[in-house]
Amino acid sequence: MLLQFTARYRRIGLLLGVIFLTCCVFSACKNKDETPPPSSNMYTLSATLSGTAEVPPNASTATGTLTGTYNATTYQINYTLSWSNLSGVPTAMHFHGPAAAGANASVALGIASFPSNATSSITGQGTLTAEQSADLLAGKWYANIHTAAYGGGEIRGQVTATKN
């Protein structure tokens, strides 16, 4: 009778062991197949524009701000550019790059259909190339606003991209 009792516990122990190992295998497979949570490819953009940031610096008392977002997956930029107290109406607005602060660069993305007011704002969007994206995220883009009195640019600000 003791022998039957011990054999019965051995079978129960073996059965529990098989169940435990099966659970472990299924758990490992489930975790292996799960997709990790996606990392954010969204960035917040900002810049403060002034005459002293232009190259060469100028004496303009105008100011401006740039705020926006950038999606590094779709290369989509969305922005709002605001300015006040320009010496006259804007004649051109652009994003330039690649250039560090203190250096000039070609136009990377134009801004069209802006208001002809010395104080105003514009909201826009655009799609960048992979190379432009790398430059933007590396801090090598700036925004500036031109006027008749400051043909090379009245106010400028280096664009900062902060990952969300």
Tens of pLDDT, residue by residue over 143-161, are 999 999 999 999 999 999 9
Instruction: Give pLDDT, residue 116.
Output: 94
Q: Report whether pLDDT(26) > 70.
A: no
Instruction: Give the pLDDT of residue 40.
Output: 80
Candidate CATH numbers 3.40.720.10, 3.40.50.1970, 2.60.40.200, 3.30.300.30; the one for domain 42-163: 2.60.40.200
Complete DSSP assignment for 145-160:
EEESTTTT-SEEEE-E
Q: Are strands 107-110 and 120-127 parallel, antiparallel or unpaired?
A: unpaired
Residue pair 64/81 in contact by the 8 Å Cβ criterion? yes
Give pLDDT, residue 77: 98
Question: What is the pLDDT, as a whole number, of residue 10?
Answer: 62
Query: Tens of pLDDT along 44-95?
Result: 999 999 999 999 999 999 999 999 999 999 999 999 999 999 999 999 999 9
Task: Show me where the domains of the chain are located.
Answer: 1-34, 42-163
Per the CB < 8 A criterion, the answer to whether 94 and 110 are in contact is yes
Express each pLDDT in 94-144 by its tens digit. Answer: 999 999 999 999 999 999 999 999 999 999 999 999 999 999 999 999 999
